[in-house]
Amino acid sequence: MTRRSSALLAFALWTLTPTAIAEPLRLPAIFSDHLVLQRERFVPVWGWASPGQVVRVQGEWSDEASQVVADDAGRWRTWLRTPEAGGPYTLTVRSEDEIRVLRDILIGEVWLCSGQSNMEMTVANTAPGYQGVLDWEAEVAAAHHPKLRRIEIPNVVSLTPKDDCEAQWVVCSPETAGDFSATAYFFARKVMEELDIPVGLVSSDWGGTVAEAWTSAAGLAPLGDFADALADAERERSQSDDLDRDQAEKRGEWWATLDRKAPGAQTIVWAKEREPFSSDAWKPMNQPAEWGGTELRDFDGIVWLRRRFTVSAEQARQEVHLHLGAIDDMDTTFINGERVAGTEVPDRWTEPRQYPIPVGVLHPGVNEIAVRVVDTGGGGGFTGTPEQLALHFTDGTAPVSLAGEWHARRGVAASELPPWPRVRRFTRDSPTALFNGQLAPVAPYGIRGALWYQGESNRPRAAQYARLMPAMIQDWRHVWGQGDFPFYFVQIAPYAYGRDQGQAAELRDAQRTTLRVPNTGMAVTMDIGNARDIHPKNKQEVGRRLALWALNQTYGLSDIVYSGPLYRSMEIEKESMRIRFDHVAGGLVCRGESLTHFTIAGADHAFHPAQARIDGETIVVWSEAVPEPVAVRFGWGAADEPNLFNAAGLPASSFRTDEWPMLTQ
């Protein structure tokens, strides 16, 4: 199949999704000011217009325009030839009645960046659960990269493939870099250093998610494993209106019960009656602060937070935007005893709260805000930054900060709350949920390749992951219709998972065997993890190692060493075994007195700690406890941090020489 026919197939798939009625000329969010287009390609450009309208698309870099006619549903798609890297340019889209001009367009390298929390983790300490990378303050201050841009796709679950999202391209600067995916940012920085060209990052990630959620129904169907879940999703689609109504009713009942029975409807009275902060029930607590560092660290349930603030008469006469940062997990917000807003649905604990406050709610002088926080487990409370807690005014006057001392009062514990109603079975972890909600809206935007950092959430099903991950890669390549584009991923780092009996090692090995898929690469992190932190802070090196793969394998810089030692083969030599590797790159290196984390087994499948030594470009492994060895494993503990490297300083991947049944099968 040619690249052009693949793209046409992708267009055909796109037209099968639900369509909008005839509408004015419109572009999806992926096409906004400051975007980066993939260089030296025919890139797709698409949107909506009135059915039958002629749409012309032209880049400032060319005298030629591309022309297309909107179909009966108002959809159109065409292709533009892009030049070599450069810009800025404008991109003009005209229908017979309207015109749209996108400005500050760069031509360069575009990478799709996806996965779970280690891809989502930001450069700065800006998001719940992420405290920033190593030296994040200095990294952010130095982030003057006007040729680096990114677009962050919001977290959305969808039963059907969405055709758009709410997002926009952002130029990298010290003001914006803190919110970038750290892994993606450091990858892009290294690529820019070496190639001196613009880079665009399409970030679509969500912490704690599973790989099947990022895969389409067509991509999952051949595996067979998810047939029941796909059938359930189809039933939900057919009953969508009824389920939405039932879910809304049951959630409404839950909140009504909370208001009636929990100390909190009573707490609403606390807010209205202005119970003095001197009451013993209200304890001072600086905000924002996750509860993990306070007396509430072991408490899950309802906590009320109150604070007084002052506004002028002029400020009270205008609409105000209340910013509270992210809140873990749900909130209901009152001002002067009146409910003004709330996020009363689950799975929004990373979402910054921004609420419009109507005119008339505030009054000149002292006002009071009360926030009822419902924490369902884990951390809780306001988890944003001090700058995010503020009142913003439409007249542009200086915001009123809400950071600092609040007063907190503990309410009912989570164990005493009624169960959260679950009508829909389709969640962010359902197969196809995030492909539909977060990838479909940007497919098939022109990209060079994809970066992937995920696996922790699939750890209990590592054997399945060995088939699922290659299927997901094939699925993305099919949907994008741009050939077997590069797909580079990060092997999960060492971490002391509770009660892990080999699942983490099996997941890492499933990732290693995925390298059999053409045009893939794996950044090994066996030496830069943190056994006590599942979000290790050295994302600089993670991004750099991904970039090494791209610079050598994608961009042809053949002098760059891009991988550490990868297991190739083994030979049994009487009482020992000899292991051969690819990517020795000048020699094998032991960083320590002796090699660590090798185990060896005989025909009984019982593994014993082994000794190992470097012999040229091979390693010899043995143990007195195993006189007739048949298998070796390396780095097989969840938190193992071995000391085998190549001469370029890149670590060896964990591996096994056997093909015995896996624990997770």
DSSP letter, residue 252? H
Rg (CA), the chain: 27
At 275 the pLDDT is 54
Q: Which domain holds residue 391?
A: 263-416
650 shares a domain with 539: no
At 2 the pLDDT is 43
548 shares a domain with 572: no
423 in any annotated domain: no
449 shares a domain with 382: no
Domain C-terminal end among 416, 443, 463: 416
- CB of 447 closer than 8 Å to CB of 485: yes
257 in any annotated domain: no
411 shares a domain with 466: no
Domain C-terminal end among 361, 385, 416: 416
| Cα–Cα distance for residue pair 479/481, rounded to 1 Å | 5
| Cα–Cα distance for residue pair 190/196, rounded to 1 Å | 10
198 shares a domain with 315: no
| Cα–Cα distance for residue pair 490/205, rounded to 1 Å | 14
Domain count, the chain: 3
At 107 the pLDDT is 98
pLDDT band, very low/low/confident/very high, at 1 (cuts 50, 70, 90): very low
| Cα–Cα distance for residue pair 556/519, rounded to 1 Å | 13
Residues 438-453 have a mean pLDDT of 98
661 in any annotated domain: no
pLDDT exceeds cutoff 80 at 356: yes
* pLDDT-wise least confident of 354-363, 428-437, 567-576, 596-605: 354-363
pLDDT exceeds cutoff 60 at 277: no
* pLDDT-wise least confident of 312-321, 414-423, 500-509, 563-572: 414-423
277 shares a domain with 215: no
CATH number at residue 199: 3.40.50.1110
397 shares a domain with 308: yes
174 shares a domain with 142: yes
DSSP letter, residue 181? B
* pLDDT-wise least confident of 47-56, 187-196, 253-262, 497-506: 253-262
Residues 229-245 have a mean pLDDT of 85
440 shares a domain with 402: no
Q: List pLDDT tens digits, range 503-520.
A: 999 999 999 999 999 999
Residues 282-298 have a mean pLDDT of 80
* pLDDT-wise least confident of 136-140, 372-376, 655-659: 372-376
238 in any annotated domain: no
Residues 628-657 have a mean pLDDT of 98
559 in any annotated domain: no
Q: List pLDDT tens digits, range 566-607.
A: 999 999 999 999 999 999 999 999 999 999 999 999 999 999
| Cα–Cα distance for residue pair 23/101, rounded to 1 Å | 18
- Of residues 376 and 266, which shows the higher confidence score? 376
Interior angle at CA 183, CA 126 and CA 213, nearest 5: 90
Domain C-terminal end among 531, 554, 577: 554
Burial of 22 (0-12, 13-18, 19+ CB in 10 A): middle
- CB of 165 closer than 8 Å to CB of 156: yes
385 shares a domain with 528: no
pLDDT band, very low/low/confident/very high, at 294 (cuts 50, 70, 90): confident
597 shares a domain with 550: no
| Cα–Cα distance for residue pair 194/595, rounded to 1 Å | 34
At 377 the pLDDT is 77
At 266 the pLDDT is 46
What is the chain's mean pLDDT, rounded?
A: 91
Backbone angles phi and psi of 50, in degrees to 5:
-65, 140
At 17 the pLDDT is 41
- Of residues 327 and 39, which shows the higher confidence score? 39
Residues 99-121 have a mean pLDDT of 97
Residues 121-133 have a mean pLDDT of 84
